[in-house]
Structure 1
Amino acid sequence: MSKGEDKGIGNGTRNSKGYRRPRALSPLREHLRDTFWFAPTAAMVLVFLLWTGAYELDAALVRLLQDHESFDDVDDLIRIVNDVKPVVNTVSSAMMTFIGVVFSISLVAVQMAGGQFTPRVVRIFVRSRITKLTLAVFLSTFTLSLLVLTSFESDTDPRLVTGVPFLQSVLTLLMVALSLFLFIAYVNSTLRLMRVGYVVERITAEALRVVDKMPRGDLDSLDLDPEIARVGHSGRAGVLRDVNIARLVRAARRHDVVLRLIPRIGDFVVPGTPLLAVHGPLDAKPPSRGALRCTVSVGVERTFHQDLGFGLRQLSDIALRALSPAVNDPTTAVQCLDRIVQLLSALADRPLGAVGHPDGRGQVRLVQDVPDWADLVDLGFAEIRLCAIGNPQATRRIMAGLDDLLDLTPASRREPLLRHRELLAQAVALAVPEAAERTFALEPDRQGIG
Structure 2
Amino acid sequence: MGNQLVFHLMRVVKSIWFRPAAYALAALAAILFTPVLAGLVPESWAGTVNLESVETTLNILASSMLAVAIFALATMFSAFQAAAQAATPRARPLMTQDRTAQGAISTFVGAFLFSLLGLIGLTTNLYNDAEILILFVLSLLLVAIVVATLISWIQRLTGFGGVEEAILSIEDATRAALNHAARRPALGAKPAEKPAKNSTPVPAGRPGYVQSIDIAKLARLANDYDVRIFIDAQPGRYVGPGRPLAYVTGKADELADQIRDTFVTAQRRTFEADPRFGLIALSEIASRALSPAVNDPGTAISVLAAIGRLFCGYAAAARGETETPLDGVLARPLDPEDLVRDAFRAIARDGAGHVEVGIRLQKTLAMLASADGDIFTGLAKDMARDALERSNAALTSESDRAALKSAASA
- TM-score normalised to the size of structure 2? 0.86
**Residues in 2 aligned to 1:254 and 1:32: alpha-carbon distance in whole angstroms:** 32
Opposite residue 230 of structure 1, the aligned amino acid is P
1:263 alignment partner, SS class: coil
Contact 1:245 1:357 in 2 (8 A): no
Of 93, 98, 108, the match for 2:63:
93
Match of 2:138 in 1: 171
Of 189, 199, 220, the match for 1:228:
199
Of 300, 316, 341, the match for 2:267:
300
Deviation of 1:173 (Å): 2.5
Deviation of 1:393 (Å): 0.7
Contact 1:153 1:161 in 2 (8 A): no
CA deviation string 1:356-382 (max 9, x = no partner): 986xxx643333345411111111111
1:390 alignment partner, SS class: coil
**Residues in 2 aligned to 1:91 and 1:120: alpha-carbon distance in whole angstroms:** 37
**Residues in 1 aligned to 2:223 and 2:253: alpha-carbon distance in whole angstroms:** 11
Opposite residue 426 of structure 1, the aligned amino acid is E
Q: How does 1:393-404 map to 2 (within 5 A)?
A: 393-404=356-367
Contact 1:255 1:285 in 2 (8 A): no
Higher gyration radius (CA): 1
Residues 82 and 382 of structure 1: CA distance in aligned 2, closer, same or farther (over 3 Å): same
Of 208, 213, 219, the match for 2:175:
208
Residues 289 and 340 of structure 1: CA distance in aligned 2, closer, same or farther (over 3 Å): same
Match of 1:267 in 2: 237
Matched, 1:116 2:83: no
Contact 1:238 1:300 in 2 (8 A): yes
Deviation of 1:147 (Å): 1.6
Q: How does 1:1-150 map to 2 (within 5 A)?
A: 9=3, 26-58=6-38, 60=39, 65=43, 73-77=45-49, 79=50, 81-150=51-120
Match of 1:424 in 2: 387
**Residues in 2 aligned to 1:406 and 1:222: alpha-carbon distance in whole angstroms:** 25
Larger relative contact order (CA 8 Å, sep ≥ 6): 1
More moved, 32-41 vs 381-390:
32-41
Q: Percent identity?
A: 23
CA deviation string 1:160-201 (max 9, x = no partner): 958632212221221232122112222332332344333322
Matched, 1:415 2:384: no
1:193 alignment partner, SS class: coil
Count of residues paired in the alignment: 402
Deviation of 1:221 (Å): 8.4
Contact 2:194 2:332 in 1 (8 A): no
CA deviation string 1:51-84 (max 9, x = no partner): 21123332x368x73xxxx6xx54334x2x4212
Q: How does 1:233-382 map to 2 (within 5 A)?
A: 233-235=204-206, 237-270=207-240, 273-279=243-249, 282=250, 284=251, 288-289=255-256, 291-292=258-259, 294-348=261-315, 363-369=326-332, 371-382=334-345
Deviation of 1:391 (Å): 0.7
RMSD (Å) for aligned C-alpha atoms: 3.2
- TM-score normalised to the size of structure 1? 0.79
Residues 391 and 371 of structure 1: CA distance in aligned 2, closer, same or farther (over 3 Å): same
**Unpaired runs of at least 5, structure 1:** 1-6, 11-24, 446-450
Match of 1:390 in 2: 353
1:242 alignment partner, SS class: strand
**Residues in 2 aligned to 1:28 and 1:173: alpha-carbon distance in whole angstroms:** 37
1:326 alignment partner, SS class: coil
